[in-house]
């Protein structure tokens, strides 16, 4: 696999992993806010769920009713997961296989977090961003730009000017006037240099510490940035609560990874070279060439919309003995041609592959396989998955899968919408399925009022509207259609639709002003509102009926589950959530 493809491999797996992982913190779980059957939902679990989609301020000011709404959702989820376990869905072979695949994915991510990411994004950087995440500073600045090719003399001259400007500001000169005279930031120059509130990670890394150390109204010394030299004044400091590090960490890391994709790819490539030595990866290039030269490419076929080769018979030129030849090996395993054939075969449990492109294509496929496999072996040897946050991630994934599985079994598969039920629903709710009234409109758009008035006068006097449209219409999408908009609804084309519905058939209206353009319209016909036939409304009817039946089935099923597994809510403990919520500990 070439460097680019290896990098892209790491990028795709890594970004998928970081989006899937919600890193959970350790600590005391707190008192229960609800008991569901024989299990509890703790204050800590509730707080973590509540603030994933809300700010700390919103959480601390939430009413008991708002908290109950969130808790009821958690209770419904817990009831369904417990029922799935009671029915043994977590013991089914297909579920166990799927879980193993997710555990391997988590181990892969754990190795990345242990060995690759810290080379580019140290934990201290994540913590520093978190420590400043609850502070915004309102700043204004003067930017003295110089070109990338500036000589040292020019840079020294700019620095001297910056120092002089700082002295003048501190002596009482008007900041805004100095901005107007000297600043090279044209955007903020319109507002006296004001850049509004900025966060820590929005500032140039070279100046973050110095800017955030400034007191209110304090003027900085000249600061060197990638744009030039800046003079910054802090106007306001805004401090608010922040999410705990255990929850905020994954969000911060995700953002940093997107910023450092190239560096992470390079770190991954170096790490993969290290692992190949450690696990003694050996490639049998002669056998790979033999395979590449021997592959048979029969006529392709379609799987859905995708064109794929028929790989099931690609290996028929090779003898049974040749099929046992090794292609690559490492300390744990050897992959033969036969293994490769199984790997790329098309069957009910395989994804269709693109054609294999010679020896390089064979190596790419095997290299992808080896990278995942060896990294997982490395993670298992070091027991990285034993860390609490990874164990929680696996538990959350299992619960999520069980929730989906039991809902499919008890709700989705039990809701059946047939033609007879759909027709009954259509008759009972016929008023919901109507085709709104429409008006057929022809329009001429021009760029100035004088021309619009002229077109309107000519049209009213009886000039051929299509001829006028051919000559004057400047609307690109209708120019070749002689201005024909066709049948439009009341909400179409803004004021054009409104005016069209007020007019009579044959009437000409205008000029209608929309933005910088002027329109003259003619009404060619009208269609009144009408009832959709069942066939016209079938899709919407079936969708609406299914949605109603799903809600009805879910309500009935939840009542059954609550009788089977009693639910108790501890309101006092729920009220006390976020009361002792600390965010300073890392």
33-82 pLDDT per residue, tens:
999 999 999 999 999 899 887 888 888 889 999 999 999 999 999 999 99
Q: Which residues are within 8 A (CB) of 405 and not within 5 positions of it... i.e. 6 or more apart?
A: 84, 89, 95
Residue 451 has pLDDT above 60, yes or no: yes
- Separation of alpha carbons 271 and 264, rounded Å: 10
- Using alpha carbons, list the distances in angstroms from residue 305 to 298, 314, 352: 19, 22, 11
- Separation of alpha carbons 542 and 549, rounded Å: 10
Judge whether 516 and 526 are in contact, CB under 8 Å: no
pLDDT > 90 fraction of the chain, expressed in percent and rounded? 70
**Cα of 353 vs its chain's centroid, Å:** 27
The predicted pLDDT at position 551 comes to 95
Question: Between β-strands 223-224 and 32-36, what pairing exists: parallel, antiparallel or unpaired?
Answer: unpaired
Check: pTM over 0.75? Answer yes or no: no
The two structure tokens encoding residue 140: 């204004």
Q: How confident is the model at residue 296 (pLDDT cuts 50, 70, 90)?
A: low
- Three-state DSSP at 189 gives helix
Q: Which residues are within 8 A (CB) of 153 and not within 5 positions of it... i.e. 6 or more apart?
A: none
Q: Smallest Cα–Cα separation from 87: which of 394, 395, 553, 402?
A: 402
Q: Is 337 left (phi over 0), alpha (psi -120 to 50) or beta?
A: alpha
Judge whether 329 and 282 are in contact, CB under 8 Å: yes
**Lowest mean pLDDT: which of 219-228, 277-286, 555-564?**
219-228
The predicted pLDDT at position 502 comes to 93
The two structure tokens encoding residue 12: 């795709």
Q: How confident is the model at residue 15 (pLDDT cuts 50, 70, 90)?
A: very low
The predicted pLDDT at position 1 comes to 43
Q: What are phi and psi of 40, to 5 degrees?
A: -120, 150
Q: How confident is the model at residue 498 (pLDDT cuts 50, 70, 90)?
A: very high
Judge whether 541 and 433 are in contact, CB under 8 Å: yes
Q: How confident is the model at residue 354 (pLDDT cuts 50, 70, 90)?
A: low
Q: Give the residue carrying structure tokens 């401090």.
A: 239
- 260-267 own/partner pairs: CB under 8 Å, 24+ apart: 260/120, 260/121, 261/11, 262/7, 263/120, 264/10, 264/11, 264/14, 264/116, 264/117, 264/120, 264/121, 265/6, 265/7, 265/8, 265/10, 265/11, 266/7, 267/116, 267/117, 267/119, 267/120
Judge whether 193 and 141 are in contact, CB under 8 Å: yes
- Separation of alpha carbons 139 and 231, rounded Å: 10
Q: Which residues are within 8 A (CB) of 518 and not within 5 positions of it... i.e. 6 or more apart?
A: 445, 446, 447, 448, 449, 451, 452, 510, 511, 512
Judge whether 183 and 227 are in contact, CB under 8 Å: no
- Separation of alpha carbons 155 and 227, rounded Å: 12
**Lowest mean pLDDT: which of 15-19, 163-167, 233-237, 507-511?**
15-19
Sign, Cα dihedral of 408, 414, 418, 422: negative
Q: How confident is the model at residue 342 (pLDDT cuts 50, 70, 90)?
A: confident
130-149 pLDDT per residue, tens:
988 888 999 999 999 988 78
400-420 pLDDT per residue, tens:
999 999 999 999 999 999 999
Q: What are phi and psi of 282, to 5 degrees?
A: -125, 130
Q: Smallest Cα–Cα separation from 23: which of 383, 390, 400?
A: 390
Q: Smallest Cα–Cα separation from 59: which of 579, 585, 586, 584?
A: 579
Residue 25 has pLDDT above 80, yes or no: no
């Amino acid at each position: 696999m070439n460097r680019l493809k290896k990098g892209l491999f790491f990028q795709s797996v890594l970004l998928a992993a970081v989006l899937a992982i919600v890193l959970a913190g350790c600590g005391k779980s707190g008192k229960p806010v609800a008991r569901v059957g024989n299990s509890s939902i703790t204050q800590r679990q509730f707080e973590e769920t509540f603030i994933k989609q809300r700010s700390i301020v919103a959480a601390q000011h939430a009413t008991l009713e708002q908290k109950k709404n969130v808790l009821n959702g958690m209770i419904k989820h817990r009831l369904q997961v417990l029922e799935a376990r009671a029915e043994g869905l977590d013991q089914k072979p297909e579920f166990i296989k799927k879980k193993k695949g997710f555990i391997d994915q988590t181990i892969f991510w754990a190795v990345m977090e242990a060995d690759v990411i810290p080379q580019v994004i140290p934990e201290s950087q994540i913590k520093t961003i978190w420590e400043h995440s609850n502070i915004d500073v309102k700043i204004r600045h003067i930017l003295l730009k110089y070109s990338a090719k500036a000589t040292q003399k020019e840079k020294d001259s700019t620095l001297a000017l910056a120092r002089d400007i700082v002295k003048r500001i501190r002596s009482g000169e008007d900041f805004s006037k100095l901005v107007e005279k000297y600043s090279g930031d044209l955007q903020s120059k319109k507002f006296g240099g004001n850049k509004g509130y900025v966060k820590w990670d929005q500032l140039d890394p070279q100046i973050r510490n110095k800017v955030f150390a400034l007191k209110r109204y304090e003027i900085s010394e000249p600061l060197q940035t990638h744009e030039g030299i800046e003079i910054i004044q802090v106007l306001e400091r805004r401090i608010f609560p922040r999410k705990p590090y255990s929850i905020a960490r994954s969000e911060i890391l995700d953002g940093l990874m997107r910023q450092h994709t190239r560096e992470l790819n390079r770190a991954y490539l170096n790490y993969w070279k290290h692992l190949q030595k450690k696990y003694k990866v050996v490639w049998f290039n002669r056998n790979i060439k033999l395979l590449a030269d021997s592959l048979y490419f029969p006529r392709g076929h379609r799987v859905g919309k995708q064109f794929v080769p028929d790989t099931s018979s690609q290996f028929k030129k090779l003898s049974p003995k040749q099929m046992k030849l090794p292609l690559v090996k490492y300390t744990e395993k050897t992959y033969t041609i036969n293994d490769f054939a199984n790997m790329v075969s098309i069957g009910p449990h395989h994804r269709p592959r693109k054609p294999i492109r010679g020896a390089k294509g064979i190596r790419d496929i095997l290299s992808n396989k080896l990278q995942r496999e060896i990294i997982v072996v490395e993670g298992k040897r070091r027991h990285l998955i034993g860390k609490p946050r990874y164990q929680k991630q696996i538990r959350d994934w299992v619960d999520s899968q069980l929730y989906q599985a039991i809902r499919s079994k008890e709700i989705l598969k039990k809701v059946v919408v047939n033609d007879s039920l759909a027709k009954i629903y259509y008759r009972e709710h016929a008023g919901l399925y109507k085709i709104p009234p429409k008006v057929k409109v022809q329009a001429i758009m021009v760029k100035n009022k004088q021309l619009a008035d002229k077109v309107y006068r000519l049209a009213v006097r009886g000039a051929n509207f299509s001829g006028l449209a051919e000559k004057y219409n400047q609307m690109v999408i209708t120019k070749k259609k002689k201005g024909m908009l066709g049948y439009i609804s009341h909400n179409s084309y803004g004021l054009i639709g409104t005016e069209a519905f007020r007019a009579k058939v044959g009437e000409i209206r205008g000029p209608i002003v929309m933005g910088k353009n002027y329109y003259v319209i003619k009404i060619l016909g009208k269609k009144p509102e009408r009832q959709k036939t069942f066939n016209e409304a079938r899709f919407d009817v079936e969708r609406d009926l299914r949605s109603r039946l799903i809600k009805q089935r879910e309500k009935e099923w939840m009542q059954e589950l609550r009788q089977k597994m009693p639910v108790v809510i501890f309101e006092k403990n729920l009220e006390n959530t976020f009361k002792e919520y600390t965010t300073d500990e890392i």
